[in-house]
Amino acid sequence: MITKEVISPPGAPNETFVINLGPQHPATHGVLRVKIVMDGEYVVRAEPICGYIHRMQEKMGENRTYAQFLPNTSRIDYLSAMTYTHGFVGAVERAAKLQVPPRAEYIRVITSEMNRISSHLVWWGAFLLDLGGFTPLLYAFDDREKILDLLEAITGSRLTYSYYRIGGLYNDVDDDFIKGTREFIAQMRPRLKMYRSLVTDNIILRKRLIEIGPISKEMCRKYGATGPVIRGSGIPYDVRKVEPYSAYPEFDFLVPTCEEGDSMARYLVRMEEMVQSLRIIEQALDKLPSGPVMAEKVPRVLKLPAGDYCYAVEAARGRFAVRIVSDNKEIPYRVKLRTPSLSNLSLFEEASAGMLLPDALALMGSLDLVIPDIDR
């Protein structure tokens, strides 16, 4: 990686200048502002400035019943909406001691993993667009459309899903969904191989990403990074394995890691995660149990027992945890949402120091940020 010593010698003139990346720059993928102090083409300091799209999600959670707040969760990380809803209903179900039917848990896993693939496809296409390649975006959205068509058929939505319910699901899947999902798996596996030959093995991409933006294990721990960011630095932390939830213990899958810690490592982790998601979905379809998709006797008005409850899931960008403090009322006393994008963004200032500006943008793209997930 090309870096520059950014500390000027004593007596040297100060030739730094400040530029604003955002808050509407395409490379920020949302309303994020990064105040960058530059020395020529090198980054001296990159300070993320958040809050331009802050929506007070946690405060809204403390002014609504549990059922009323449920649709909000899919608006936090709109690309990983299924998993975020899963985290919230899981916290409420844990507190209320609700037993979710096995079929519902399997369908939750199937839909969450399909949502993970669609999220990674958006990241893949947009990331390569940031690096100057337009064609991959068209392939990514072509494959993503197939997932959205399948999920729309059972949820009625294509982005901000509110499919999960406290105690189960809104409705069951049908034979058309199962058949279509199997067809998608058969189509997607060859496509991922084509992505490797078209993009991953392309010398231009490799020159732009290899040894660019290295993030050490210590830096990941320092800032609380999770998801593909920490796994790209060689730490096999995945909530589905270390804090098993739902039906994930029933499935055989790997946690992809890379030791290099550079932008290419994070790229490769996400590409392999799509392979593993297809593997999980296929196993879940093969073992899908029969039965109901809603728990029995779920109260229409929930009053959780007084206490402090937490539930974590592995979203597309890392660990999403929901903490609920209840005082035995219809509305929670406190709702705390631990989202991965804020922690992953926090390391950008330290990791980007001394980098060329185009390389810093490649580093930012490899973090896969969703701004409403930061400004929640």
State the average pLDDT for the chain: 93
DSSP state of 91: H
Question: Which pLDDT score, from 0 to 100, does residue 2 have?
Answer: 56
pLDDT at 210 over 70: yes
Q: Which long-range contacts (CB under 8 A, 24 or more apart) does 33-39 make?
A: 34/348, 34/364, 36/357, 36/360, 38/357, 39/4, 39/6, 39/8, 39/15
For residue 370, the domain's CATH number is 1.10.645.10
List the structure tokens of 90.
């899981």
Question: Which pLDDT score, from 0 to 100, does residue 13 have?
Answer: 53
CA–chain centroid gap for 189, Å, is 21
Give the model's confidence band at 4: pLDDT under 50 very low, under 70 low, under 90 confident, else very high.
low
List pLDDT tens digits, range 40-50.
Answer: 999 999 999 98
The SS3 assignment for 313 reads: strand
pLDDT at 375 over 60: yes
List pLDDT tens digits, range 52-100.
Answer: 888 899 999 999 999 999 999 999 999 999 999 999 999 999 999 999 9
Over range 344-363, report the average pLDDT.
Answer: 94
Please indicate, yes or no, if residue 25 is contained in any of the structural domains: yes
213 and 355 Cβ atoms separated by less than 8 Å? yes
- Which alpha helices (H) appear in the chain, and where do they start and end? 57-61, 66-69, 81-96, 102-130, 135-155, 175-195, 203-209, 217-223, 228-231, 239-242, 263-286, 340-346, 348-352, 357-367, 371-374
Please indicate, yes or no, if residue 46 is contained in any of the structural domains: yes
Dihedral, 159, 122, 255, 338 alpha carbons, nearest 10: -60
Give the model's confidence band at 9: pLDDT under 50 very low, under 70 low, under 90 confident, else very high.
very low
Instruction: Say whether the peptide bond before residue 23 is cis (omega within 30 degrees of 0).
Output: yes
Give the model's confidence band at 10: pLDDT under 50 very low, under 70 low, under 90 confident, else very high.
low
Please indicate, yes or no, if residue 11 is contained in any of the structural domains: no
Please indicate, yes or no, if residue 267 is contained in any of the structural domains: yes
Over range 107-120, report the average pLDDT.
Answer: 97
Q: Are strands 42-49 and 164-165 parallel, antiparallel or unpaired?
A: unpaired
pLDDT at 137 over 60: yes
Other CB atoms within 10 Å distance of the CB of residue 197: 9
330 and 318 Cβ atoms separated by less than 8 Å? no
Percentage of the chain beyond pLDDT 70 is: 96
Over range 227-236, report the average pLDDT.
Answer: 96
Question: Which pLDDT score, from 0 to 100, does residue 272 have?
Answer: 97
Please indicate, yes or no, if residue 39 is contained in any of the structural domains: yes
Strand partners, 46: 36
343 φ/ψ angles, rounded to the nearest 5 degrees: -65, -40
Please indicate, yes or no, if residue 7 is contained in any of the structural domains: no
pLDDT at 114 over 70: yes
Burial of residue 341 (CB within 10 Å: 0-12, 13-18, 19+) is: buried
List pLDDT tens digits, range 288-324.
Answer: 999 999 999 888 889 999 999 999 999 999 999 999 9
Over range 14-34, report the average pLDDT.
Answer: 83
pLDDT at 32 over 70: yes
pLDDT at 23 over 50: yes
pLDDT at 110 over 80: yes
List the structure tokens of 181.
């999902």
List pLDDT tens digits, range 245-254.
Answer: 999 999 999 9
Please indicate, yes or no, if residue 8 is contained in any of the structural domains: no
Please indicate, yes or no, if residue 1 is contained in any of the structural domains: no
List the structure tokens of 375.
């400004």
Question: Which pLDDT score, from 0 to 100, does residue 8 have?
Answer: 52
Which residues constitute the domain of residue 344? 17-374
Over range 218-239, report the average pLDDT.
Answer: 96
What's the structural domain count of the chain?
Answer: 1
DSSP state of 295: -
Question: Which pLDDT score, from 0 to 100, does residue 1 have?
Answer: 60
Percentage of the chain beyond pLDDT 90 is: 86
